[in-house]
Amino acid sequence: MTTATLSPKFELQPYKSLENDALEARIQAVREQLGSQLMILGHHYQQDEVIAQSDLRGDSYLLSQRAADSTDCRHIAFCGVHFMAETADILANRPDKVAERDGERVGVYLPDLAAGCSMADMAAIDQIEDAWDQLSEVIDTDDLTPVTYINSAASLKAFVGRHGGIVCTSSNARAAIEWAFARTSRVMFFPDQHLGRNTALGMDITDEKMPVWDPFADDLGGNTEEVLTQSKVLLWKGHCSVHQMFRPEHVALFRDKYPGIKILVHPECPREVFELADEYGSTGKIIQQVEAAPPGSQWAIGTELHLVNRLKQEHPEQEIHFLSPVVCMCATMYRIDLAHLCWTLENLAAGTPVNMIEVDEETAKWSLVALERMLEVR
């Protein structure tokens, strides 16, 4: 990945002291100037002010699809985290799309480069390659399909593309694992052990067949050769620090206090919580389930705080609770604010773009192989 930062016409600091009203008016002015050339994408975990500026809010799958389908637009301001902007760059700049635009690329901008994902950071490409090398000593890696959650660096997606694998999101993890099992008898899933485990348990794969690979263990990811030989799904020892805060006792607390309440969680939650839940789904699916519920429904929702608070505001006819007494918010998503967005857009309009995310050609080529498979399975 290369990050191009040209000398900006405007420095960030002054934007931080502007009021939201002023920032909103200035963002609107850039929108008017750039028209349909500009698309602002916002992930559901973004703060309300940022969502209000987004042309489309969505889960990882929908936002990837939108980037892939973009026609008029030449600039995407991605209000989300780093792996999402990388994915948008790869999909919006597919060779066929670039040819359709007579060689013009779409610039993808992440308003704050520090908006990463701690889960994605738990699997580095050299750790994955090392694991694969070690595995090839004890099992047949030609009979092993790598599946990476979209919450991973482009280099991992490229690894997966090169090795006949697929990317998944939380909305199509099961379909992706089924796709992999149609090809090989074993799957390696990274970086989120919880999404991998929760999905595979639903496919009747038992715990003993799902060893966890610890990249910091001395040998074989902390497993014996026998355990690896008997495995069906190898899970990577990664997790989301936000979703792992939800605990079974929180579920018990809500069920005691509100008999009949529905527990709705994101599949990044640990198994103990996931198995107690009534419903689960990607951020997009969580919203759909709430939207479809009758007035008076009671929910305790286990996903990022900003999304749950927005659901509360948008659905006063329902009773919505946050499934934890402690604040579980994605601190990196929260880095994107109106000041960073306005700064990014004004520099873009001035011809000195900042925070451009551009994946190198070779990585993009192989990532695309795995991402196109993701977009085909549902």
Closest approach of Cβ 209 to ligand SF4, in Å? 25
Measured from the CB atom, the residue of 152 and 223 that comes closer to ligand SF4 is: 152
57 binds, among ligand 13P, ligand SF4, none (CB under 5 to 8 A by kind): none
Using the minimum distance from each CB to ligand 13P, give the nearer residue, 15 or 83.
83
Nearer to ligand 13P, 200 or 240 (CB): 240
What gap in Å lies between CA 331 and CA 285, rounded to an integer? 22
Q: Select from ligand 13P, ligand SF4, none the partner in contact with residue 199, using the beta carbon and a kind-dependent cut-off of 5 to 8 Å.
A: none
Question: Using CA atoms in the order 33, 37, 38, 43, what is the torsion angle rounded to 10 degrees?
Answer: 160
Distant-in-sequence contacts of 130-139, Cβ < 8 A, 24+ apart: 130/215, 131/188, 131/213, 131/215, 131/221, 132/159, 132/163, 132/188, 134/219, 134/220, 134/221, 135/188, 135/220, 135/228, 135/234, 138/220, 138/225, 138/228, 138/229, 139/186, 139/228, 139/229, 139/231
DSSP H or E stretch at residue 137: helix 125-138
- By CB under 6 A, what part of segment 54-93 binds ligand 13P? 59-60
- Residue 59 partner contact from ligand 13P, ligand SF4, none using kind-dependent CB cut-offs of 5 to 8 Å: ligand 13P
- Binding letters toward ligand SF4, positions 115-154, x by CB under 6 A: --xxx-------------------------------x---
Token pair of 318 as six digits: 């329902």
State in angstroms the smallest separation of the CB of 40 from ligand SF4.
18
Q: Amino acid identity of 12? A: L
Does position 242 interact with ligand SF4 (CB under 6 A)? The reply is yes
Question: Are the CB atoms for 175 and 378 separated by under 8 Å?
Answer: yes
Q: Which does 308 bind (CB under 5 to 8 A by kind): ligand SF4, ligand 13P, none?
A: none
Residue 59 found at the interface with ligand SF4 (CB under 6 A):
no
Query: What does the per-residue mask of binding to ligand SF4 show for 255-294, with x meaning CB under 6 A?
Result: -------------x--------------------------
User: Strands 356-358 and 2-4: what pairing?
Assistant: antiparallel
- Nearer to ligand SF4 by Cβ, of 89 and 268: the residue is 268
335-345 burial by CB neighbour count: b if 16+ within 10 A, else e?
bbbbbbbbbbb
- Count of other CB atoms within 10 angstroms of residue 224: 12
Choose, by CB under 6 A, the member of 268, 337, 346, 358 that binds ligand 13P: 268
- Cα distances (angstroms) measured from residue 102 to each of 38, 54, 96, 98, 349: 18, 27, 10, 6, 22
Count the residues of the shown chain that bind ligand SF4, applying the rule CB under 6 A: 13
- DSSP reduced 3-state for 10: coil
Helix (H, G, I), strand (E, B) or coil at 341: helix
Using CB under 6 A, which of the segments 159-167, 271-279, 326-334, 353-361 binds ligand SF4? 326-334
The one of ligand 13P, ligand SF4, none whose footprint includes residue 223, by CB under 5 to 8 A per kind, is none
Peptide bond into 295 cis (omega under 30): no
Residues in contact with ligand 13P by the rule CB under 6 A:
44, 59-60, 151, 169-170, 240, 266, 268, 282-283
Residues in contact with ligand SF4 by the rule CB under 6 A:
81, 117-119, 151, 240-242, 268, 304, 330, 332-333
